[in-house]
Structure 1
Amino acid sequence: MKLPTIITLLGTLLWLPSAATQAQSREASEKITRELTLTADAGRSTLAVYNLFGSVSVQGYSGSKVLVEITKTIRARNAADLAQGQKEAQPGFEQRGDSVVLYLQGPHDTRPRRQRNSGNHQLDYEFSFDYVVKVPAGMQVDASTVNGGSVRVQDVTGLVKARNVNGPVAIVNAREATVARTVNGDVSVSYAAVPRQASTYHTINGDITVSYPAGVAADVYFKSLHGELFTDFPQAEVLPARVSQNEERGSAGTKYKLSKETAVRLGKGGTDFRFETLNGNVTIKQLSR
């Protein structure tokens, strides 16, 4: 191969990444804010956030209104597609009775049991919405996203549900029952007080770390295919495997099966806390005073 040919080839290879970067370089962001007044006491009110791409952060505070700040980001290859994304991708706000619902109005309606389509055409842009929400601390919260971000709920004293698919879930300073679920990511929960109702923690690929006050009394149920359970609680007792009756009955009689869960009693036992992961460990920690 002649020297000029080699130089030309190298120049082409160096140009290709630059051209690809330029093709993807168009981006537009904007801040969207909204202030919502509750129609009922905070303790009887619920915030639901149904995100698709991006993070959700919810923090309890001493105020009486729901304060919403959304960062909307659109990425596209050209100006026309960017403008289309700015037009189509819109947040939705809904108040139904004692509920405040934050969702995506377009290009997909992310509310449960809504058909998610974008007019049956392929999107020529990417979009994300990052939610930062302040709520009266006593509200119940149900926050979720799917891709490209984390879910975090902090300083909320009501019931909390935090769900993700591809990303971590964190709940900080909870006081009531919690549901923390993701598929690919870690789950982290800490409690300012021992929850009085059953709570569940679940991930497929990730670790689960939960911290309780020292005086917790609970029965822990742990299930993992490739993981272990660790705890620093001094009074932790492994319980016998539970036997449950199988509903199938044959000519040989009724079948019984042993539960595949490991049961551990903390303190005197009581409230059920259920942990499940496929590939990951579970760590139950005692909060330091």
Structure 2
Amino acid sequence: MKNLKIKVTLVSLLLLFVIKLSAQETVTIPLTNPDKEGFLKMGIINGSITIKGSNTKEVIVKGTKVEKAKSYYSGRKTSKNDVSGLKRISNNSLEFSAEEYNNEVYVRSTPHGTTDFEIEVPKNFSLKISTINKGDIYVENVNGTMDVSNINGKITLKDISGSVSADALNKDIVVNFIKVTPNAPMAFSSMNGDIDITFPKNFKADLKMKSDRGEIFTDFDLKTKPNSSTVTKGENSKGNAFRVKVEKWIMGSINGGGSEVLFKNFNGDVIIRAN
């Protein structure tokens, strides 16, 4: 019995999985305090991230290796040895790691190849997740603080509660809030996609909005505020100088105002919906 207690304690302090077996693997990660809120952190280079909240007391991570498309490029370097009559064996092995410490779960993936992740977490879980290439980010039914970034894919957050900071360079950001954490500042930014956010109709906030080459739409009763130019004094090679920067920000409040929510877009629309 004493040995069992020691083993459980060690597992609760640090749990590490390393997978390098086949094209698909699922691991279950117990939490140190399953009745308390947790935090998932992961940043990958290639692949999609799908996260769903449930009544689970653990974090379940499923990784799937995406096979590389066959290349028929005739100029590919061939072996200097005679391999005629032999079969080429593809490397479809999967490699990722998952580590837990005091309810914080870290998922890491090799930068080589593409791995898609499907992750199940308890409903009360905060997230800091990002991907760069070859994948979208999708989160559903999670309550927490979320920091989400995607360079070349879409971000979709469905039926979530809490607060969000999200940025996408080349695709849309779509978020549907069930409940928002009061007095929590938030920010949404995109370069080449639409920003489409749905809040509860009683949501209180001060909005700061800008879209250089797009439009801004809302069905909230927005009370706009005057916006003055920003004047900055700086120095340059010719001595002191004044630099006047006029930005096309629209400022306004909904439902009497609250914490600031920023919407910044360059080549897409900003859509703010009331539900």
Q: Partners in 2 of 1:170 and 1:158 — Cα distance?
A: 15
Q: AA paired with 2:254?
A: L
Corresponding position of 2:203: 216
- Among 171, 176, 179, the residue aligned to 2:162: 176
Q: Distance in 1 between matches of 2:88 and 2:59?
A: 35
Partner of 1:20: none
Number of residue pairs aligned between Structure 1 and Structure 2:
236
Q: Which residue of 2 aligns with 1:285?
A: 273
Higher helix fraction (1 or 2)? 1
Q: Aligned partners of 2:65, 2:242: CA distance in 1, in Å?
A: 58
**One of 82, 90, 103 as aligned partner of 2:90:** 82
Amino acid at match of 1:278: F
Map Cα deviations across residues 246-272 of structure 1 (whole Å, 9 max, x no partner): 243799997665443211211201111
Deviation at 1:274, TM superposition (A): 0.6
Supply the AA of the counterpart residue of 2:114. S
- Please say if 1:50 is aligned against 2:43: yes
Aligned-partner Cα distance in 2 for 1:82–1:74: 9
Instruction: Report the equivalent of 2:218.
Output: 231
Structure 1 residue 54, shift from structure 2 partner:
1.8
Deviation for aligned residue 1:99: 1.5
The separation in 2 between residues aligned to 1:45 and 1:103, in whole angstroms, is 17
Matching residue's letter, 1:35 = T
- Cα 1:39–1:246 change in 2 (3 A) is same
1:166 to 129, 145, 152: 152
Residue type at the aligned position of 2:194: D
Amino acid at match of 2:145: L
Q: Greater relative contact order: 1 or 2 (C-alpha under 8 angstroms, separation 6 or more)?
A: 2
Deviations 1:125-155, CA, capped at 9 Å, x for gaps: xx32111101011111122211111101111
Matched, 1:60 2:33: no
Q: 1:1-289, aligned counterparts within 5 Å? A: 30-41=23-34, 43-75=36-68, 80=88, 82-83=90-91, 86-87=92-93, 89-105=94-110, 107=112, 127-196=113-182, 197-233=184-220, 235-248=221-234, 257-287=245-275
Q: Tell whether the 8 Å contact from 1:66 to 1:136 is kept in structure 2 after alignment.
A: yes
Residue pair 2:150, 2:167 contacting (<8 A) in 1 also: yes
CA contact (8 A) 1:152 1:162 kept: no
The TM-score, its normalising length taken from structure 2, stands at 0.78
- Percent identical residues: 24
Letter in 1 for 2:105: V
* Deviation digits for residues 172-201 of structure 1 (CA, Å, limit 9, x no counterpart): 122211011111100001111133201111
Pairwise CA RMSD of aligned residues?
2.5
Displacement of 1:43: 4.5
Residues 1:102 and 1:246: Cα distance change in structure 2 (over 3 Å): same
Aligned partners of 2:28 and 2:189: how far apart in 1?
Answer: 33
TM-score, length basis structure 1: 0.74
Residue pair 1:241, 1:259 contacting (<8 A) in 2 also = no
> For 1:64-113, what per-residue CA distance to the aligned partner results, in whole angstroms no more than 9, with x for missing partners?
10011111123255964622xx34x5112222343111111353xxxxxx
